[in-house]
Structure 1
Amino acid sequence: MLKVDKEKLMSDIKNILLDAEELLKQAANASGERANELREKALAQLKQAKEKAADAQALVVEKGRQAARATEDYVHNHPWQATGIAAGVGILVGLLINRK
Structure 2
Amino acid sequence: MTTDTITTAGPTESTKDTLVRDIKGIVGKADHLLKDAGHTVSEELSATRHAISEKACGAANATDAYVHANPWKIVGIAAAVGAFIGAVISRR
Q: Same fold (TM over 0.5)?
A: yes
Question: Can you give the 5+ residue segments of structure 1 that lack an aligned partner in the other structure?
Answer: 1-29
The number of aligned residues is 71
2:86 match: 94
Question: Deviation at 1:31?
Answer: 2.4
CA distance in 2, matches of 1:68, 1:40: 42
Select the structure with the greater relative contact order (CA < 8 A; seq sep ≥ 6): 1
- Aligned pair 1:78/2:82, yes or no? no
Question: Deviation at 1:98?
Answer: 2.2
Give deviations 1:34-78, integer Å, cap 9, x for gaps: 211111111111110121112111111211111111111011011
2:34 match: 42
Matched residue type, 2:57: R
CA distance in 1, matches of 2:31, 2:84: 56
- Scaled by the length of structure 2, the TM-score of the pair is 0.69
Flag as ranges the 4+ runs of structure 1 deviating above 2 A: none
- Root mean square deviation, CA, Å: 1.5
- Scaled by the length of structure 1, the TM-score of the pair is 0.64
Question: Comparing both structures, which one devotes a greater share of its residues to helix?
Answer: 1
